[in-house]
């Protein structure tokens, strides 16, 4: 198999695991297990960082894709996919800053003796969190189309 196709297959599996961790994290916080939610979401964030580091090495050793061989549909899908990944990074990063702002607050500790977090902090954590998860799902769907095109051309 072509080394680039192999690399993107691994990246697709990685994004799939990120989406699974995000859904598991949502289920965990809904049943009140904040610590498990934190671990799942930070696990997903670590996999995103691992992908970004691997992408630098991919560019250095395997180079860029030759988009002149791609159909317009696949190029447009790639641009949309890149936008989804950027949205996932920005929204996920913002959700993390709002999670930090909940430190020592009862929403995070589940201890009624602790002070409540600002409602805006909780609201923005939810909004940014759902935006990041939604972007990751769209990112995975569009990555599937990109990969299908790569397999068809190889
Ligand atoms: C980028 C990573 C993260 C994402 C995408 C994310 C996403 C979400 C989402 C979507 C919810 C709402 C769940 C629902 O109401 O159905 C939520 C709630 C929550 N998250 Fe996160 N989260 C992330 C990281 C963290 C971290 C690191 C913590 C630290 C403990 C945390 C603490 C919480 C808490 C305490 C709630 C519940 C707030 C409440 O309604 O009382 N999250 N998160």
pLDDT digits (tens, 9 = 90+) for 21-49: 999 999 999 999 999 999 999 999 999 99
Segments forming the whole domain that contains residue 61: 3-153
Cα dihedral 14/12/100/121 (nearest 10): -150
User: Across residues 104-124, what is the average pLDDT?
Assistant: 97
User: Across residues 68-82, what is the average pLDDT?
Assistant: 97
Domain count, the chain: 1
**Residue identifier of the C-alpha nearest atom 7 of ligand 1:** 129
pLDDT of residue 1: 74
Centre of ligand 1 from the C-alpha of residue 139, in Å: 20
63: helix, strand or coil: coil
**Residue identifier of the C-alpha nearest atom 13 of ligand 1:** 26
Mean pLDDT of the chain: 97
User: Across residues 53-82, what is the average pLDDT?
Assistant: 97
Ligand 1 cavity residues, CB under 6 Å: 26, 29-30, 34, 37-38, 41-42, 45, 92, 95-96, 99, 102, 107-108, 122, 125-126, 129-130, 132-133
Which pLDDT band holds residue 96 (cuts at 50, 70, 90)? Answer: very high
Give me the percent of the chain exceeding a pLDDT of 70: 100
Region label for 119, one of left (φ > 0), alpha (ψ between -120 and 50) or beta (otherwise): alpha
């Amino acid at each position: 198999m072509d080394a680039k196709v192999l690399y993107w297959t691994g990246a697709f599996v990685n994004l799939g695991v990120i989406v699974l961790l995000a859904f598991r994290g949502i289920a965990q916080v809904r049943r009140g297990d904040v610590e498990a939610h934190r671990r799942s979401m930070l696990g997903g964030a670590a996999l995103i960082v691992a992908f970004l580091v691997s992408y630098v090495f991919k560019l250095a050793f395997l180079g860029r894709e030759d988009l002149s061989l791609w159909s317009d549909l696949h190029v447009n899908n790639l641009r949309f996919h890149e936008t989804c990944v950027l949205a996932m990074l920005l929204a996920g990063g913002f959700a993390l800053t709002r999670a930090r702002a909940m430190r020592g607050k009862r929403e995070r500790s589940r201890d009624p003796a602790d002070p409540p977090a600002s409602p805006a902090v909780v609201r923005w954590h939810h909004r940014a969190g759902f935006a990041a998860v939604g972007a990751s799902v769209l990112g995975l769907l569009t990555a599937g189309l990109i990969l299908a095109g790569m397999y068809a051309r190889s």
